[in-house]
Amino acid sequence: MYFNDQSIVFYNGKFIKAKDATANVYSQSLHYGNGVFEGIRAYNTENGAKIFKSFEHYKRLKHGAEVMNIQFNYTEDELTEITYELLKRNELKDAYIRPLITTGANMSLLTSTETNLMIQCWEWGKYMGDKLLRVKTSKFQRPNPNSCFVETKVTGHYVNSILSTNEAKAAGYDEALLLDMNGNVAECSGANVFMEKDGKLYTPPRGHIMAGITRATVLELCKEEGISVEEKHFTLEELKQADSCFFTGTAAEVVGLQSLDEYHFPLEWENSQGYKLMKLYKDEVLDVRKKAKAV
């Protein structure tokens, strides 16, 4: 699904066949989860392949490496250029892009001085599908922000996301919703959350969540379109009185919820602010809005 005999990856300065890429089995990333990754999308726009918010994604990747003390010297612009070249070599315009920084062999708990960079890409539809989601509140909480850097995509952090997703799927649900250590609603295992009440949107503030690039885009779209939105903590009980709810993320894009545990969101998705934002987001990533705004 992710690669075939022809697929090319960027690996430590070279474009090589994915099937020829090998990794060190003594890598600290494999043993202890000390690696950093990104999830980016490219869209086939009228002007060809366009990587959405490449600078912002690579800035977050670099920040992750920095806080983990991983030596990493590429600039955001260099990484963007490499990624466009990678898309071209794979003949992909609509693609999911996965940069991954791994560390070398080191069984001590000090960051290895060896760094590897790989960038992979593949064709990927909507990660959470097109249907409204049935979501389960997880028994797992988002990590305490004093225990790690919650705003970075460090590979090891994703064990928390895997635990909650496994739990939700095993119980017959589509996705998991996680609370923070204080009992407030935090986010989905791989996406941010917004709720709508009386026409106004609410989303948890930064602190216990991933500062999603899609979340920031949706906040910008709300501002531009005059949609009322507030960054504010809310509880599960409040969310279960909301009219509507949606998740945002690079892989998920903007996707509505049908239900949370036993609670069904009463507002028709097509009449919600989330639905409007789903359409606006699609136009934004396809560069259609900029053109419309310029006219």
Looking at the annotation, which residues are catalytic?
153
DSSP string computed for 95-135: EEEEEEEEE-B--SSSPPS-EEEEEEEE----TT-SSPEEE
Q: Which of 9, 118, 119, 213 binds ligand PMP (CB under 6 A)?
A: 213
* 250 sits near ligand PMP (criterion: CB under 6 A): yes
Q: Which of 192, 244, 272, 273 binds ligand PMP (CB under 6 A)?
A: 192
Minimum distance from residue 186 beta carbon to ligand PMP (Å): 9
- φ, ψ of residue 213 in degrees (nearest 5): -75, -30
Minimum distance from residue 85 beta carbon to ligand PMP (Å): 23
Residues across the chain: 295
What is the bridge-based pairing of β-strands 95-103 and 133-137?
A: unpaired
Minimum distance from residue 164 beta carbon to ligand PMP (Å): 10
> Which residues does 147 contact at the CB level (< 8 Å), separation at least 6?
none
Nearest-CA neighbor of 113 among 75, 83, 73? Answer: 73
Q: Which of 34, 214, 272, 273 binds ligand PMP (CB under 6 A)?
A: 214
* 39 sits near ligand PMP (criterion: CB under 6 A): yes
* 35 sits near ligand PMP (criterion: CB under 6 A): no
Q: Which of 204, 212, 256, 274 binds ligand PMP (CB under 6 A)?
A: 212
* 64 sits near ligand PMP (criterion: CB under 6 A): no
Instruction: Tell me the CA distances in angstroms from 91 to 8, 44, 150, one per residue in order.
Output: 10, 11, 35
Nearest-CA neighbor of 225 among 268, 294, 289, 291? Answer: 289
Minimum distance from residue 76 beta carbon to ligand PMP (Å): 15
Residue 209 structure tokens: 């969540």
Nearer to ligand PMP, 112 or 155 (CB): 155
Residues 185/236, Cβ–Cβ less than 8 Å: yes
Nearer to ligand PMP, 115 or 203 (CB): 203
Stretch that binds ligand PMP, among 199-207, 228-236, 247-255, 277-285 (CB under 6 A): 247-255
Nearest-CA neighbor of 109 among 197, 28, 183? Answer: 28
Nearer to ligand PMP, 35 or 249 (CB): 249
Residues 36/113, Cβ–Cβ less than 8 Å: no
CA distance 108 to 110: 6
By CB under 6 A, the residues from 149 to 188 that bind ligand PMP are 153, 161, 187
Minimum distance from residue 78 beta carbon to ligand PMP (Å): 21
The alpha carbon of 107 is separated from its chain's Cα centroid by a whole number of angstroms, namely: 30
CA distance 236 to 179: 8
Residue 1: how many other CB atoms lie within 10 Å: 6
Minimum distance from residue 146 beta carbon to ligand PMP (Å): 17
x/- contact string, 99-138, with ligand PMP (CB under 6 A)?
Answer: ----------------------------------------
Q: Which of 18, 168, 210, 278 binds ligand PMP (CB under 6 A)?
A: 210
Q: Which residues bind ligand PMP (CB under 6 A)?
A: 39, 153, 161, 187, 190-192, 210, 212-215, 248-250
